[in-house]
Amino acid sequence: MNNIRNFAIIAHVDHGKSTLADRLLELTGTVEAGEHDEQMLDRNPISRERGITIKLAPVRMLYELNNYLITNDELRIKSKSEIRNPESTNQIILNLIDTPGHVDFSYEVDRTLACVEGVILLVDATQGIQAQTISNAYKAIEKNLIIIPVVNKIDLPSADVEKTKKQLMDFLGIKEEVIFTVSAKTGVGVEELLKAVIEKIPSPKSLIQKQASSLSLIFDSYYDSHRGVIAFVRIFDGELKKGQKVKLANLGTEFEVNEVGYFSPDLVASDKLATGEIGYIVTNLKDIHKIAVGDTIVDVRNAYIRSLPGYKKIKPMVFASIFPTDTADYPNFQKALEKLYMNDSSLEFSSIYSQALGAGYRVGFLGLLHADVVRERLEREFGLNLVLTPPQVEYSPAGVMFKEPIVKVMIICPDQYVGAIMQLTQNYRGKFLTMDNKNQMILEYELPMSELISDFFDNLKSVSSGFASLDWEFLDYRIVKAGKLELLLNGDPIDEFSEVVVEERAYEKACFLTSCLKELIPRQQYEVKIQAQYKGKIIASTRIAPFRKDVLIKSGKVIGAGDVGRKKKLLEKQKEGKKKMKMVGRVEIPKEAFMKLFRK
């Protein structure tokens, strides 16, 4: 174990984590420079297209220490002469996990930090410390991990290295000499950083020190149609090997290990995984309900089964309904959602039914970007065509009142944008908490989650010229004046558009929905009234005029020419017919209209 280093790269979004991972892969000879895609650990097409990491990505690297004197005693080198001898090599196993930087994928970071002994905290020299820099650093500190602070992008003309160093010194309480400077793009400083990882991050330790013990944590997984669930594991004690009979400490599932191996970054089979190592196991389990991320794998022979702490289940804050556009695809959609859950354990879902859209699922997400990525993954990876209803928050009933979720928001920005941001936050029902102006402005607010998932973030970027960054955490539920907003078509409610809305936003939302629906519903042969009802009262209304059919013209000829009585009789008959149609007819909303409105 003394030659193993388990570490992660954590940072704010777009600060260069995946590019730094590329240089480390090249430096260790894991891949050849110029013969791989950029950000090669971001293998998901959606991740590559959006330019952000959406999944944790482990990789095993081997590094030969030649002619390099290291000071970490844990390597237990026999003599300095042996280190300096070119014929003698010392192989270090480096298990790196690249992580997402967007707040919506913070659960990926949480699971990663439970598997490593240290982190590289990467900061973009052109932007300085941002919201997720602070959030992720606090997570590493809470787990007592070794933190190696690094300033990246020093090659750019707009880089302010000294200012960024000062921010890190103030934030972490460290001296300047412990901060590394690199250019992940050009590779400058990366080798010195790699050596610092070997020197500063400790090797893993066995938890139990018993020969018969075996403890492994499942930190991620995915479903393979041929080999069942493939679990990503960190071995905390003992070993795992092919043919070994194991058991899940929490679920109680027993199975035989079909294969073990490493991430290089492709799956490469090996004889075994030993204490301290990170790798994968092929379970051959086809029932995805029999295994879970966060569970502990133990040997079935263990008399004492101990479960590792695992992960605190994260609570989704944003909810939306998802339906297949073709109702015949529902069984495939159900299987796809369950398989995706194996690779994204932050999801929550339950089945629902809509008269207009058929069977679907109510799904909980960590944020708007998470919801959009999940929809896109379901469509691309499983060949589905889906419609996602507008994301909402869940209100908790409190007698005749409602409680809404409140979050604590941290906004980091240059000081010249503080006034505009404070005004913006006030417009979104924000409550000011604190402000810190050391090196850069850090504003903290309490904000309703429903406001955060509207267009708050877009407007924040707009008023700050793109310089503000944001992080948030759930606080609690608080009583708010709210009620049910319903849309009515000729008096009939449309369940798909019923939602709880706070009182001060009800009229604005009602006008928006009624005007949108007017554009999307085809004209009928009778008048269609579109109304928005809030707490039982109509607060917005519009109408779709009927088609006008001239009953006095038949085959191009005027009926009853000159006969006023006959003309009047025909017009009265048409009027009665339309009245009857309106009484017995139900306005049909095309599925395409629902989809267009949801996308708005």
Helices (H), 354-471: 368-382, 418-427, 449-451, 457-463
Same-fold call for 318-388 versus 396-480 = yes
What pLDDT is recorded for position 387?
A: 87
CA-based end-to-end distance of the chain:
55
**What residues form the annotated binding site?**
14-19, 152-155
Q: Where are the domains of the chain?
A: 4-200, 215-299, 318-388, 396-480, 484-588
Residue 97 structure tokens: 């996990």
The Cβ of residue 544 has, within 10 Å, a number of other Cβ atoms equal to: 18
Write the pLDDT tens digit of every residue in 34-64: 767 777 888 888 888 888 889 999 999 999 8
Reported as type and span, the H/E element at residue 142 is helix 131-142
How many CA atoms lie less than 13 Å away from 488 in the CB half-sphere?
Answer: 17
CATH topology of domain 4-200: Rossmann fold (3.40.50)
Per-residue tens of pLDDT for the chain, all 600 residues: 789 999 999 999 889 999 999 999 999 989 887 767 777 888 888 888 888 889 999 999 999 876 454 555 555 444 444 433 334 447 899 999 999 989 899 999 999 999 999 999 999 999 999 999 999 999 999 999 999 999 999 999 999 999 999 999 999 999 999 999 999 999 999 999 999 999 999 999 887 655 446 889 999 999 998 999 999 999 999 999 999 999 999 899 999 999 999 999 899 999 999 999 999 999 999 998 899 999 999 998 875 677 788 777 788 999 999 999 888 999 999 999 999 999 998 999 999 998 778 899 999 999 999 999 999 999 999 999 998 888 899 988 766 789 999 999 999 998 899 999 999 999 999 999 999 877 679 999 999 999 999 889 999 999 999 999 999 999 999 999 999 999 898 888 888 788 899 999 999 999 998 998 888 888 777 788 999 999 989 999 998 888 665 545 555 555 555 566 666 665 566 565 545 444 334 566 666 666 667 666
Are the C-beta atoms of residues 11 and 136 closer than 8 Å to each other?
yes
**Nearest residue to 140 (alpha-carbon basis) of 11, 269, 267:** 11
Which tokens belong to 472?
A: 């948030």
Q: Using DSSP bridges, classify how beta strands 4-11 and 118-124 pair: parallel, antiparallel or unpaired.
A: parallel
Distance between CA atoms of residues 592 and 520, nearest Å: 9
Instruction: Determine how β-strand 259-263 pairs with β-strand 267-270.
Output: antiparallel
Q: Pull the structure tokens for residue 302.
A: 């263990």
Beta-ladder partners of 406: 448, 476
Looking at the chain, the number of H-run helices and the number of E-run strands are 15, 32
Give CATH superfamily name and number for 318-388: Elongation Factor G (Translational Gtpase), domain 3 (3.30.70.870)
Name the DSSP class of 497: G
Q: Assign 3-state DSSP to the chain and report helix, strand, coil percentages, each to 5.
A: 30, 30, 35
Angle at 333 between CA 327 and CA 339, to 5 degrees: 175
CA distance 317 to 452: 11
* Other CB atoms within 10 Å distance of the CB of residue 412: 24
Which SS3 state, helix, strand or coil, does residue 325 take? coil
Q: Residue 265: is the preceding peptide bond cis (ω within 30°)?
A: yes
CA 483/CA 153 separation, integer angstroms: 50
In the CATH hierarchy, which top-level class contains the domain 484-588? alpha beta
DSSP category for residue 553: E
Q: Which residue in 214, 210, 8 sits closest to 97, CA to CA?
A: 8
- Please give, one letter per residue, the 3-state secondary structure of 205-239: CCCCCCCCCCEEEEEEEEEECCCEEEEEEEEEECE
Taking the C-alpha atoms of residue 347 and residue 366, their distance in angstroms, rounded to an integer, is 8
- Note whether 542 and 510 are within 8 A (CB): no
pLDDT for 314: 84
Residues placed in the known binding site for GTP: 14-19, 152-155
Domain 396-480 belongs in CATH node 3.10.105.10: no
Looking at residue 590, what is its pLDDT?
A: 67
- CA gap 274, 527 in Å, rounded: 74
Judge if the upstream peptide bond of residue 414 is cis by omega within 30 degrees of 0: no
Question: Do 347 and 316 meet the contact criterion of CB atoms below 8 Å apart?
Answer: yes
Write the CATH number of the domain with boundaries 215-299.
2.40.30.10
